[in-house]
Structure 1
């Protein structure tokens, strides 16, 4: 499963935060200019981490243990979504900028370009484990066994009209999409456009579902960009509801609305199994084993990205990276498994520790 999912190394950088009593991004300049040089005297530097809501629980757990046992300050972990994390991460160099960006997808070319325009030219991804994107609903709701094609037909803004064109999505209920699905209104709580979970859902789920339809398969062959627009654009008529970057908010909405479904990371399903249940995807349950094996069709690798140029600027940064990539953390018996992390293979974990060692060597030069 891992082959083909791994983002190539883009470099690495780490960055320190001057705490000054703040733990949010309210003062971050999100313009495209390079950040001004930070004031460093008389302040306590902390590792600042931004990004994916899916990776955030794992990063927070590592950060808390790291702060309690390492002698360094506890890193600040801010949930901004993958896209928002890269935007903040790419603003410039220095201890007042994020050092690490958590991500539930690989960095995009446009994000790499933004980083480069602000002097962030050395970035390295570290893979931490697998996650599944699950379709879930309340324990009190109907059972779902759904395919990627059905997800596309239910959630795409426009679908084939059967006459060579496209029409606004007419479906109001799941039963309208397929007679075998529950006769309940299509109401889906999901992540916003800045979320890596949403990016992965439309790419791994809706796009693959669209490919199974002859009209869209032909469009892909003739105009790949037009196909992606049709496959990735989610309807805006109220059937899909952006529920924010934090998947916990989706869980809360599902408990309140038993007939609704939500799109979220597997770890949140695992942590809330007393309140929500996962749908089967083409007959395959969303389980730890099925995601790890690749049998579950909405699986992905999770990452964090580091600024190499700041490795020597942030006390404890390389130590945090080593702590995260230790077997006691992300190994098969590590404490992150209890949080829902699905570990990499032994070989792949060894490869990520080698990445950490190369960063340590670079920082010491």
Structure 2
């Protein structure tokens, strides 16, 4: 995998926004972070370490989902609004526009590592071997008519065996995150669309009618086979224990932390392991991010120091404490690139010329 750091400076801050921030130092003396439930465990352990080893208060972190985090983050500048948001996907153009409209005009994007999306079941049952095409056919709202004719019909599949004769004859029940979740976005894009592209006559539609293509490949069925289980991935693990035949969708770190209870399915012949995600072999892998309001640096105490802790080798390095929590570290050269930029943060050199 590879990644390019994207730092967006949209327009200069206005005098009014600067005035609104003038009293922030005395109004709030801790960092406020919202966002992804996947990044939450990593941000939390960094925050706890930071709180114990610096003179600053431990940041307050709220798990809102990536989409919910961007909404709060982009609501405005000042002490009433979060300083950072975590995300398990990149910020969308529409979110950048929302930020800009509300005066959040300088956004720092920092990639922190990688994660894989696990499709898991309880360990008392046999692990599954699924393809991305299986996942698309099982979970899409509309699928190709099994009788042919290159037409779509409402999803008729009720069991995994109906999707693929090699799979168990059990009902399709998949517990996953809601639309506000970055994990849901990544699953739809990487798993479902990846499977959708295996159907030739739909794949060619991407260039002819992208809107229709995305509607087919990205729309999850709503008849009960896919169950929105909230933003709390630990809750999904608990629900799997209560429902032997269900599958759950969540980040690799939660699979890793609950390996005594659940197991990941093979996806296109690859197991969701630390090594397979790190080298890009596992097909449902993604980058994780932190977004920072540049206007809050120097106004809310400790932001720079928090970013330095997050980007230290002891945190996100190959043997860092975040890898013990399930974060897949970036290659050393990529980490060095991001760490260098963070170390120069005070120099105010983060300008995007795109």
TM-score by length of 1: 0.90
Q: What is the CA distance between 1:183 and its match in structure 2?
A: 1.2
Matched, 1:230 2:216: yes
Aligned to 2:135: 151
Q: Are the counterparts in 1 of residues 114 and 285 from structure 2 also a CA contact under 8 Å?
A: yes
C-alpha change, 1:11 and 1:270, in structure 2 (3 Å) is farther
> 2: CA distance between counterparts of 1:41 and 1:91?
19
C-alpha change, 1:237 and 1:174, in structure 2 (3 Å) is same
Matched, 1:180 2:166: yes
> 1: CA distance between counterparts of 2:74 and 2:114?
25
Aligned to 2:92: 108
> 2: CA distance between counterparts of 1:348 and 1:41?
33
C-alpha change, 1:143 and 1:164, in structure 2 (3 Å) is same
Q: Are the counterparts in 2 of residues 11 and 125 from structure 1 also a CA contact under 8 Å?
A: no
Matched, 1:60 2:44: yes
Matched, 1:191 2:177: yes
Q: Are the counterparts in 2 of residues 90 and 120 from structure 1 also a CA contact under 8 Å?
A: yes
> 2: CA distance between counterparts of 1:137 and 1:11?
43
Matched, 1:219 2:219: no
Q: What is the CA distance between 1:40 and its match in structure 2?
A: 4.9
> 1: CA distance between counterparts of 2:348 and 2:25?
25
Aligned to 1:2: 2
Q: What is the CA distance between 1:279 and its match in structure 2?
A: 0.4
> 1: CA distance between counterparts of 2:316 and 2:102?
32
Q: Are the counterparts in 2 of residues 45 and 95 from structure 1 also a CA contact under 8 Å?
A: no
Say what the alpha-carbon RMSD is for the aligned residues: 1.9
Among 27, 50, 53, which residue is 2:34 paired with? 50
Q: Are the counterparts in 1 of residues 177 and 228 from structure 2 also a CA contact under 8 Å?
A: yes
> 2: CA distance between counterparts of 1:41 and 1:252?
41
The answer for unaligned runs of 5 or more in structure 1 is 13-33
> 2: CA distance between counterparts of 1:345 and 1:224?
34
> 2: CA distance between counterparts of 1:267 and 1:182?
27
Among 317, 324, 328, which residue is 2:303 paired with? 317
> 1: CA distance between counterparts of 2:25 and 2:134?
58
| 1:102-159 deviations in Å (ceiling 9; x for gaps) | 0100000000000000111111111111100010011112320000011000000001
TM-score by length of 2: 0.92
> 2: CA distance between counterparts of 1:7 and 1:239?
38
Q: What is the CA distance between 1:219 and its match in structure 2?
A: 2.1
